[in-house]
Amino acid sequence: MDPLARKLPAAFFDRGTLSVARALIGVHLVHRYRGRLRAGRIVETEAYLGPQDLAAHSSRGRTARTEVMFGAPGHAYVYLIYGMWNCLNVVTARAGTPQAVLLRALEPVAGITARTCGPGLLCRAMRIDRRFNGVTLSGDVLWLSPPSPSARPVRIGRGTRIGVDYAGPWAQRPWRFFDRTSDCLSRPVT
């Protein structure tokens, strides 16, 4: 069996968002696109713990845009920023608790030649757009696959989230996780 064909169980997502954000480092994001697999190893994430987290989209309440965040864990929340970049989030926590983890960067593994060091570049390289909003992340087209037992170990780093200065003190929460050994991060480790 192809190791990229394995899928994370639903229970992986149904727990604390910070735990999921950390545990996603080293996991593979896989997209079956036109009969071929595109895959990347997740090397950077950010946790959003709305609705109290002022950096989370759900802090503005339940809207058509954020509805998927209020649903069951293990689904994709895909939104557009700056009118051109799609961003992929993993919905976490129990249904009714609007929390998610933004996938910020990948290391290409299969079928990817474009840059993946940023949430918009990641989605463009993986051919992920808003059509995937609400899909389960254990389906036959888009899924998360656990790392193989022989995968290199990750060295987890932690820092503040990027681009959320408008959120006041919430911007200073150390809810960004990354693999210190990766050269595909959206921002260098300082």
At 17-62, the pLDDT tens digits run 999 999 999 999 999 999 999 999 999 999 999 899 999 999 999 9
DSSP state of 148: P
Once rounded to an integer, what is the mean pLDDT over residues 142-170? 93
pLDDT of 83: 85
CB 55 within 8 A of CB 161: yes
Look up residue 9 and give its two tokens. 């169980």
pLDDT-derived band of residue 114, with 50, 70 and 90 as boundaries?
very high
Q: Is 176 a residue whose pLDDT tops 70?
A: yes
Mean pLDDT across the chain, nearest whole number?
95
Q: Domain 6-179 classified CATH 3.10.300.10?
A: yes
Q: Is 190 a residue whose pLDDT tops 90?
A: no
Q: Which residue, among 179, 190, 180, 189, has the nearest Cα to 42 in the 3D structure? A: 179
Spatial separation of the C-alpha atoms in residues 19 and 92, rounded to whole Å: 10
CB 163 within 8 A of CB 170: no
Residue with tokens 């109290």: 52
